[in-house]
Amino acid sequence: MEIKGLKSWGGQWKRPLIMAGPCSAETQEQLRETAIAIHDLGINIIRAGVWKPRTRPNNFEGMGLNALKWIRDIKQEINVQFAVEVATPQHVEESLYHGIDILWIGARSTVNPFTVQEIANALKGVDVPVFIKNPINPDLSLWIGAIERFHQAGISKIGAIHRGFSSIQKTRFRNTPQWSIPLELKKTFTEIPLICDPSHIAGESEMILEISQKATDLDFDGLMIESHRNPTEAWSDAKQQVTPKHLGEILENVTFRNPTSKNKEFLTHLEELREEIDHVDQELYEIIANRMKLVDQIGYYKRDNNVTVFQKNRWKEISESRMSWSEKLGLDVDFMDDLFKRIHENSIRRQREIMNKNFQKAKDVS
């Protein structure tokens, strides 16, 4: 999808784009010390939580205006930009007044189109960079809709942040990555920078390197990592923050990939391999089409002999045999199991349609 007028503006920063800083600006000393240490790593964009949306009241909700004043003072001392989260039109007004360089929209806001529209309206006439985090729930349409609302408000410097999705299932992540969703967004909006927030995906500092590497392997444009001078004393999200020293070690150990190569030999061979994949994929589709023709024949045969579509003994037999084939061929068993279940579900659907074709005709006539 192309939005007319949406700028390809990520190139104004050197790739990878790194934002780092504390989950919350707690005190002026804490923020200043952390910002200086991060800047010493060569990072020039400091993220800082000024207002903290909390699930329940009476928890620490950020230092608000005081934090904005600290940021203004720190910017006069060191050459950095600051990024903060805004959730209301008042946040926008106060942030811009205090010289905040970059705004981001949090997951709790992105999930609500009314909130997004109010913030977008407050930004009309001010073309400040705005990064939009994915909504809490895995809904690509909400994420796309938020981008469109800010663009329609006149914001041309739009970016996206992947911070993972809430899930009722217990996983090792605080927020499950579901990488296919941000990759679909990247395919939809090729112009805008997409960065990853491994801190919120992980929930644990030990996992940040792993998730950061995964993101750069998938051609993300950068990272937003929470860093605190002393995470054990942090007032919020202590487990997922790292010291500036640890942050430096993480970035040294991440292998940042290039989206392409200028090596002609590489490009030629890559194109040859891709052509082979295209041929294999075509054969794969033709094989699936032939399988569905056989499925239909079986469906008619079952219908004419009054036999049920689903037969548990047959399903058990083919499940076990296909799993064995996966193991022998060195394929990922879980992936192949999921794939075959989808094929089987579609086979059942086709046979049910065949079984009930005459019933549907009689129903239409009546």
Domains contained in the chain, CATH given: 10-253 (3.20.20.70), 264-365 (1.20.59.10)
- Report mean pLDDT in 10-residue bins for the chain, 366 residues: 54 82 97 98 97 80 95 97 97 97 97 98 94 97 97 94 93 96 94 95 97 96 97 96 98 91 92 95 96 95 92 88 93 93 94 79 49
Only one residue has tokens 């001078």, namely 229
For residue 89, which amino acid is it? P
Query: How many whole angstroms separate alpha carbon 117 and alpha carbon 145?
Result: 10
Q: What is the largest CA-CA distance in the chain?
A: 84
The reply to whether omega before 177 is within 30° of 0 (cis) is no
For residue 134, which amino acid is it? N
pLDDT value of residue 54: 72
Residue 104 bridge partners (DSSP): 85, 131
Nearest to 100 by CA among 78, 119, 72: 72
Structural tokens at position 274: 């891709």
Query: How many whole angstroms separate alpha carbon 146 and alpha carbon 117?
Result: 8
Query: How many whole angstroms separate alpha carbon 35 and alpha carbon 78?
Result: 9
Nearest to 254 by CA among 284, 213, 287: 213
pLDDT value of residue 61: 85
pLDDT value of residue 359: 53
Quick one: DSSP state of residue 356?
Answer: T
CB 354 within 8 A of CB 300: yes
pLDDT value of residue 348: 93
pTM, entire model:
0.82
pLDDT value of residue 362: 47
| Run of H or E residues at 265 | helix 264-304
